[in-house]
Amino acid sequence: MDETSIRIVAAPPGTTPHFEVEAVVIEDDTYLVLGADPVAKASNESARESLSRATAAQALEPGTVVVKSGDPLRLHAVVHDLSREPSWTEEWVASALEEVVRSADEREIRSLSMPLLGTLYGTLNPRKCVELIRDALAQTTLSYLANIWIVTPPDTLNGIRDSLRTLGAELAD
């Protein structure tokens, strides 16, 4: 990777990287169902109003990113359309990764965490996702983004780190 200013950490969930995570990338679908907060929240909305709102919901465009407030900021990467089989495409993942990098830098985010998009709910090869991350970083002029934590299951950690090394990423332990 030419982006020597970007430090990439590949580590399992629950690990604390050596930087504060300012934004979290969430693998999601066109209706933001996969990345929904599973905690039930009280609502003053009637069942009829809830059903009406759900019926009127418009599908988001695959390959886009929806930014939601919070601490950390949440970047919902829309890489799945659950009405299709398979639900994802490599092009959608690539597009979402480019938008994640651009959106993070535009918001002056210095660090983010992300899964390997397309591998959590899809069957994208993890090495291919690493290549798509490299491509997204190479296509964007960065002013702020400096750290990326790739959250990966422990059983794939060594393979992901090897892929990152092979592609020339600056790795941090």
- Predicted local distance difference test score (pLDDT) of residue 41: 66
Structure tokens at 155: 């059983």
Structure tokens at 130: 């690493």
Closest alpha carbon to 128 in 86, 83, 103, 97 = 97
- Predicted local distance difference test score (pLDDT) of residue 1: 41
- Predicted local distance difference test score (pLDDT) of residue 79: 98
| Report field, pTM of the whole predicted structure over 0.75 | yes
CATH of domain 7-171: 3.40.220.10
Q: What is the pLDDT along the chain (173 residues), one digit of tens a residue?
A: 444 478 899 999 988 888 999 999 999 999 999 998 766 567 787 778 766 766 677 999 999 999 999 999 999 999 999 999 999 999 999 999 999 999 999 999 999 999 999 999 999 999 999 999 999 999 999 999 999 999 998 888 888 888 888 776 655 55
